[in-house]
């Protein structure tokens, strides 16, 4: 697989990463350990060298899975993990105090079976802790050799600039796809200006852009899409026009809708590194196939015009979670 550099940093990764969250958290029952390990190793065999996890994905369970899977090839991959919540649970509120950052780092090093974290993200901006303290603590961890690069997740322009002034931000991870294009307004231009890489999560619109979800789809009880307004039955039905668009383009390129959605992201900037996740080998292979699809300038222009004419319904998060988005 081709590689990409995240912004102006020295961090080179595969142009498609692997989001490991769904193996342990968020989308129903956790995948059996051996199945999860086999899937992560299969991703590596197919050329993926960038793996994403976090403390809150099962309170360390996902990090432990990733650590076991990647231990044999640790020095050939980049592992990203995150800090920023109390008690390792996103339901317990934010906490990016220096002592908490250090505790998460120590826990992550143990869970991941490693002596360094390639990319350490602040999972969400904590309004109660000065950004100078957050970036300063990570800067100290880098000096100690425990962390290599600093990242932020879902941060707003103001926070990115404050952090970047203390410690260069290597990458911002935020949701971005044809299904959620908000970063195009302010965030992506800022990242390009500052030389910061972009790691889109949910690049397939939490599965919606695969064409496998419709108004009649029933999610498992523990699947968090059950509480997302954009995934209500009514909104899924109303938003099918975007799936129809991607399906038509896929047919023209003899590809799948998921591959077109990922190829579109890869074409946006040379510093985009999407991290699709899956629990199935067939979907993993399908996603990785996106690297072989080239969308022409005319394709991209036509897609942009079509997307601009589609009015998607439903908020991204319920009101209780909306306040966690950074400023």
List pLDDT tens digits, range 265-285: 999 999 999 999 999 999 999
pLDDT tier, 80 (very low <50, low <70, confident <90, very high otherwise): very high
pLDDT of residue 319: 77
pLDDT tier, 250 (very low <50, low <70, confident <90, very high otherwise): very high
> Is pLDDT above 70 for 249?
yes
Token pair 């002596």: residue:
115
Q: Domain count of the chain?
A: 1
Residue 195, domain CATH: 3.20.20.100
3-22 pLDDT per residue, tens? 999 999 999 999 999 999 99
Return mean pLDDT, the chain: 95
> Is pLDDT above 60 for 309?
yes
Report the alpha-carbon distance of residue 175 to residue 58 in Å, rounded.
20
pLDDT of residue 29: 84
Whether 228 is covered by a domain: the verdict is yes
User: Which residues have a Cβ under 8 Å from the Cβ of 305 and sit 6 or more positions away?
Assistant: none
pLDDT of residue 235: 95
Q: Are 85 and 94 in contact (CB under 8 A)?
A: yes
Crossing angle for the helix pair 131-143 and 157-166, to the nearest 10 degrees: 40
pLDDT of residue 287: 98
Report the alpha-carbon distance of residue 144 to residue 276 in Å, rounded.
31
- Structural domain including 177 reads 3-322
| Number of C-beta neighbours around residue 124 at 10 A | 24
Mean pLDDT for the stretch of residues 238-265: 97
pLDDT of residue 327: 56
pLDDT tier, 1 (very low <50, low <70, confident <90, very high otherwise): very high
pLDDT tier, 318 (very low <50, low <70, confident <90, very high otherwise): confident
User: Which residues have a Cβ under 8 Å from the Cβ of 224 and sit 6 or more positions away?
Assistant: 26, 27
Whether 327 is covered by a domain: the verdict is no
pLDDT of residue 90: 87
Whether 172 is covered by a domain: the verdict is yes
pLDDT tier, 324 (very low <50, low <70, confident <90, very high otherwise): low
Phi then psi for residue 302, to 5 deg, are -65, -40
> Is pLDDT above 60 for 322?
no
**Residue 135: Cβ-neighbour burial (10 angstroms; 0-12, 13-18, 19+):** buried
pLDDT of residue 83: 98
pLDDT of residue 25: 86
129-147 pLDDT per residue, tens? 999 999 999 999 999 999 9
Whether 104 is covered by a domain: the verdict is yes
Catalytic annotation present for 317: no
pLDDT of residue 321: 64
pLDDT of residue 28: 78
Q: What are the angstrom distances between the C-alpha of 107 and each of 88, 137, 205, 311, 327? A: 10, 16, 31, 43, 28
Q: Which of 27, 44, 57, 176 is catalytic?
A: 57
The per-residue DSSP string of 178-216 comes to TTB-GGGTTHHHHHHHHT-EEEEESTTTTTGGGT---TT
Whether 276 is covered by a domain: the verdict is yes
Report the alpha-carbon distance of residue 17 to residue 288 in Å, rounded.
9
């Amino acid at each position: 697989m081709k590689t990409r550099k995240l912004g102006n940093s020295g961090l080179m990764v595969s142009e498609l990463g692997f989001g490991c969250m769904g193996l342990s958290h968020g989308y129903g029952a956790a995948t059996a350990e051996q199945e999860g390990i086999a899937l992560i190793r299969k991703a590596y065999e197919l050329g993926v060298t960038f793996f994403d996890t976090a403390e809150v994905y099962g309170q360390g369970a996902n990090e432990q899975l990733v650590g076991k899977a990647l231990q044999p090839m640790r020095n050939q991959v980049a592992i990203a993990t995150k800090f920023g919540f109390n008690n390792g649970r996103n339901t317990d509120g934010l906490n990016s105090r220096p002592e908490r950052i250090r505790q998460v780092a120590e826990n992550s090093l143990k869970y991941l079976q490693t002596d360094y974290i390639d990319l350490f993200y602040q999972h969400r901006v904590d309004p109660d802790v000065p950004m100078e303290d957050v970036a300063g603590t990570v800067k100290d961890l880098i000096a100690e050799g425990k962390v290599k690069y600093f990242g932020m997740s879902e941060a707003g322009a103001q926070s990115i600039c404050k952090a970047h002034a203390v410690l260069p931000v290597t990458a911002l991870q935020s949701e971005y796809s044809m299904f959620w294009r908000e970063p195009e307004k302010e965030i992506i231009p800022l990242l390009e200006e500052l030389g910061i890489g972009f790691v889109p999560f949910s690049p397939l619109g939490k599965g919606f852009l695969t064409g496998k979800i419709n108004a009649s789809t029933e999610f498992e009880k523990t699947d968090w899409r059950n509480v997302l307004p954009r995934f209500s039955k009514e909104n899924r039905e109303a938003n099918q026009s975007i799936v129809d668009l991607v399906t038509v383009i896929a047919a023209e390129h003899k590809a799948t809708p998921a591959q077109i959605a990922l190829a579109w992201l890869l074409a946006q900037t040379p510093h985009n590194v999407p991290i699709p996740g899956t629990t199935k080998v067939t979907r993993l292979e399908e996603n990785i196939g996106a690297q072989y699809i080239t969308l022409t300038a005319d394709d991209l222009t036509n897609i942009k015009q079509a997307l601009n004419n589609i009015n998607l319904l439903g908020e991204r998060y319920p009101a209780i979670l909306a306040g966690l988005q950074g400023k």
